[in-house]
Amino acid sequence: MIVDCAHYRDGRRQHEGKMAPEEAAAICKQDPGFVWLGMVEPSPAELEHVQDAFGLHELAVEDAQSFHLRPKVETYEGGITFVVLRTARYVDEREEVEFGEVSIFVGPGFIISVRQGVTDLHGARLRLEARPQLLEEGPASVLWAIVDKIVDDYAPVVEGLEIDIEEVEKTVFSGSVAPVHRIYLLRREVTDFYRAVHPLLGPAASITQGGVLQISDGLRQYFRDVDDHLKLVNEEIMAQRDLLSTILQANMAVVASQQNEVVRKISAWFGIITVPTFVASVYGMNFTHMPELDWKFGYPLALAVMFGLAISLYFMFKRVRWL
């Protein structure tokens, strides 16, 4: 679905409402300025329509319809640059991270964004329209606005994961056992987030250095700021991965310690029961010449010996903290 399609010239939007793709393609070929077309989860027929209007490469259009594991930047014939970015959003109710994707076609006089899944680029459009000096930079300024919006949305994800990790960390280092599956789920979410952020470092640096698009020195400063924020997010994610590895090891140590404690308790009670049982088995042999059989105090003595040994063993295991 096409959510908006507008023609910009001299840093200003030239009309209200959205244009048809054919009209937008004709304008970007004839009039100065550029066209920004935004789509959300389009159907194959809609993408094919836009492909025919703007002359997009079929491989890039095919990639725009599917999710990728890694962000990338590719250049196609006709001076069209294809950019894939991963989006992320932290869902506090489920304590999970949802991922999406934005595919961007940057060509002479136009830029097309195709959104799949989470994120909303309408805010980026409004923000850029309020800064006409940046809009005058052309399609590259739109690319900056989109990348900046996506990277800014990474910050709440980092904070949400940080809170979850701190909760698990407090549980483990307080001596209690945290659910192992919870730690593994956090580890997987952080790893997926890392795969969405880390591969973007290369393309972001390439764009900032002007190796992909021709950008002015003024706009390069904005891209450099985004690149710095992206590096900071990447460092925080790597720190979270390392911390989760430490938490997992500590949790396994707590589990092993508790298991050892259970084994010690079982062994202690087994010893307490075994010794009196041994005494009882001796007196249960019923040999003919056992002096205690004819002794008046033989039975009370046997009970006293068994009881005394059991009490002695109990206090001994208590002293060594096996019980």
Whole-prediction pTM value? Answer: 0.76
CA distance 189 to 157: 10
The closest alpha carbon to 118, from 84, 86, 151, belongs to 86
Angle between helices 44-54 and 21-30 (to 10 degrees): 20
Alpha helix (H) residue ranges in 174-216: 180-197, 201-208
Q: What does R_g of the chain's alpha carbons equal in angstroms?
A: 35
Please, are residues 80 and 107 in contact by the beta-carbon 8 Å criterion? yes
Say what the pLDDT of residue 209 is.
81
Say what the pLDDT of residue 114 is.
92
The closest alpha carbon to 60, from 43, 69, 72, belongs to 72
Task: Please report, for residues 36, 85, 147, 154, the alpha-carbon distance to residue 190 in angstroms, rounded to integers and kept in the order given.
Answer: 33, 17, 21, 12
SS3 289: coil
Please, are residues 133 and 207 in contact by the beta-carbon 8 Å criterion? no
Task: Please report, for residues 37, 133, 206, the alpha-carbon distance to residue 213 in angstroms, rounded to integers and kept in the order given.
Answer: 19, 19, 9
80-91/110-116 β-pairing: unpaired
Say what the pLDDT of residue 239 is.
92
What DSSP letter does each residue of 93-161 carry, written as one string? TTTEEEEEEEEEEEETTEEEEEEESS---HHHHHHHHT-HHHHTT-HHHHHHHHHHHHHHHHHHHHHHH
- Altogether, the residues listed in the chain come to a count of 323
Residue identified by tokens 């393309």 is 203
Q: What is the pLDDT along the chain (323 residues), one digit of tens a residue?
A: 888 888 888 888 888 888 888 888 888 777 788 899 998 888 888 888 888 888 888 888 888 887 766 788 888 887 888 999 999 999 888 888 899 899 999 988 899 999 888 778 888 888 888 888 888 888 889 999 999 999 999 999 999 999 988 888 887 777 665 677 788 888 889 998 998 899 888 888 888 887 777 888 888 898 999 999 999 999 999 999 888 888 887 777 666 666 666 667 777 777 778 777 877 777 777 666 667 666 666 677 677 777 777 787 777 777 777 66
CA distance 292 to 226: 93
Domains of the chain: 2-254 (3.30.460.20), 255-319 (1.20.58.340)
Say what the pLDDT of residue 255 is.
65
